[in-house]
A and B are shown apart, each in its own frame.
Chain A
Amino acid sequence: MGSPNLGLPIVFVSVLLAGFVPNEFRPTAFGYALAVTPLCPMLRIQSLTKRYPTGDIALQSVNLDVPDGQVMALIGPSGAGKSTLIRCINRLVEPTSGQIYLNELELTRLGSAQLRRARRRMAMIFQEYALVERLTVMENVLSGQLGYVNFWQSWFRKFPQGTVDEAFRLLERVGLGQFPDKRADALSGGQRQRVGIARALLQNPNILLVDEPTASLDPKTARQIMRLICELAQERGLSVIVNIHDVPLAQQFSQRIVGLQAGEIVYDGPPSGLTERALTQIYGEEDWNPERESEADESPALAGTAGERQS
């Protein structure tokens, strides 16, 4: 799996010692380059390539700039590398080559401690919500702050009061104010995704990486969730990369669309520019006219060489 082998020696040897040191005070080589100049993009990807050990090439020399505050939708058939691209950014999947910069910080060069610090600034929202089912809503939301507290604080659930206040505010905002102590597995799909959103925002990120947020939801809930993500992103001025199957939904909610096909960018432009030709380029031959529903991923001729890790 993409999650790195957790460096367990750290757990067994140094938890007791290091556990008391909050991440803030751990030595890092990098200061935080938060002074964002309007000229430099929030996220810059340069000739990113990912080859899986099986030999499948998921991404091939991808170049992409995402400016501050932009909502960008990533579309493309299954196996085109959308999921891999998103996971390369926070390095849940290790890129094979290329560079990724977040606010001029080169993510691809960070050691594991620095990577953890950097990950706090990149929040992720998942297709299957990826909540810890047996924990409560509040615990799941608070887990967004794990990068900011030390081990024993998180083990005994002693989060700073400011964090708890913020978590309550976020829960109200996503419409779950009344069940902080409900267990995550007792919620509906839409509610779970709202918890996922609250968890992501509690990280206080600069960028949201959103992986198929609506694929497991019914159409109405899907729109509500997309709207919520975009509203929140706008309120906080976040950049968003959302990887999505549903083309109409992508067109409605994003400011920019990037089409990925077999690991390469084949379309990059405004939602209005997605002509029939552009769609054919991304998804292959298909009668696009009747109703562009989200069948794109079912066209078998194109279900690519499948290097993509499906979540």
Chain B
Amino acid sequence: MPVLEKGSEKVWQKRDRTQALLSWLGWLVGAAVVLFCWQIIADNTNWSFVADAPEQASHMIARGIPPNWGYLNTLWQPLWDTLNIATLGTLLGVAVAIPTAFLAARNTTPHPIVRYIALLVIVGSRSVNSLIWALLLVVVLGPGVLAGILAIGLRSIGFTGKLFYEAIEEIDPNPVEAVAATGASAAQVLSYGFWPQVMPSIFGVSVYRWDINIRESTVVGLVGAGGIGIQLQASINILRWSQVSMILLVVFLTVFVSEWISASVRRLLI
């Protein structure tokens, strides 16, 4: 912290002059970039629609309240599908992610080349959103729950696999050494030395991802991959806002409950 001498007085400042200048410059450049980007967006926006937006919104809300309670009866089946997409998709993803993570973790991989392949699988799966997976899978498998399950599963491999292999790399190596010293086979070393140490995080991460997948599975229906998203799409297309609000309410409650379940299971595991 520089202290400047001004005549006989000492003036204290947080930054000296160049630092202050640089800091201002940084902010200025940042602001300019944001403004420039905003300009591009503004150019690509049809402002007459935007001017109309408040009216549209109030219209939507007015027609959406109260929700169409009777519509609830047709929602049970899609809701069940949504739940299944999330659960089966998570199970699928985790089942693939666990062996992949053991191949990707530095301390359990059989060979560096295998490790890079496993890492590639994880990165590739992480980089593609489940909706994009769904978009492609619907083309191949046709619309339906199956495409949704696979889309959610494919996306989950990367997410859970990354957290799994980080957990594997962080374990305490001493018990592993001790188990190996008893003459245990490689599989036994994994099951006694590694598994008890990583099991809590594997369960925790899986439940966490299940909770995220509930949310994701509400939208894969938008591209035809099953679940409540199909109803949402249909209701929006015909502008039935009371149905839309009913669906949103159901989604809100489902997500709320799943988050609560996931949080309490994770608390139990610690």
Contacts and interface: CB of A to CB of B under 8 A. Distances in A.
Answer whether A and B touch in the complex at a CB cut-off of 8 Å.
Answer: yes
Interface of A: 1-12, 15, 19, 23, 90, 92, 116-120, 122-124, 126, 128-135, 143-147, 151, 154-155, 196, 199, 203, 209, 311
A230 B110 CA distance: 39
Contacts of A118: 183
B121 interface: no
Contacts of A129: 174
Given A6-B190, A8-B109, A92-B177, A203 B196 contact: no
Contact of B177 (A2, A9, A12, A154): A2
B176 A3 contact: yes
Interface of B: 99, 102-103, 107-111, 114, 172-193, 196-197, 199-200
Contact of A123 (B114, B182, B185, B188): B182
**B114, B185, B199 — most chain A CB neighbours (10 Å):** B185
A92 B107 CA distance: 14
Contacts of B189: 3, 6
A9 B102 CA distance: 11
Nearest to A132: B175
Given A130-B174, A134-B197, 13 more contacts: A1-B107, A1-B177, A3-B189, A6-B189, A8-B114, A10-B186, A123-B181, A131-B175, A143-B182, A146-B184, A147-B183, A203-B183, A311-B174
Nearest to B192: A143
A10 B200 CA distance: 25
Contacts of B181: 90, 92, 119, 122-124, 209
B185 A23 contact: yes
Contacts, number: 127
A8 B108 contact: yes
**B103, B180, B181, B192 — most chain A CB neighbours (10 Å):** B181
A306 B91 CA distance: 47
B191 A154 contact: yes
Nearest to A15: B187
Contacts of A7: 110, 186
A90 B183 CA distance: 9
Contact of A130 (B178, B190, B196): B178
A10 B188 CA distance: 11
* 5 cross-chain pairs, A with B, having the tightest CB-CB distances, nearest first: A147-B183, A119-B183, A146-B184, A130-B178, A120-B183
A5 B200 contact: no
Contacts of A155: 191
Contacts of B174: 126, 128-130, 311
Nearest to B179: A143
Contacts of A12: 99
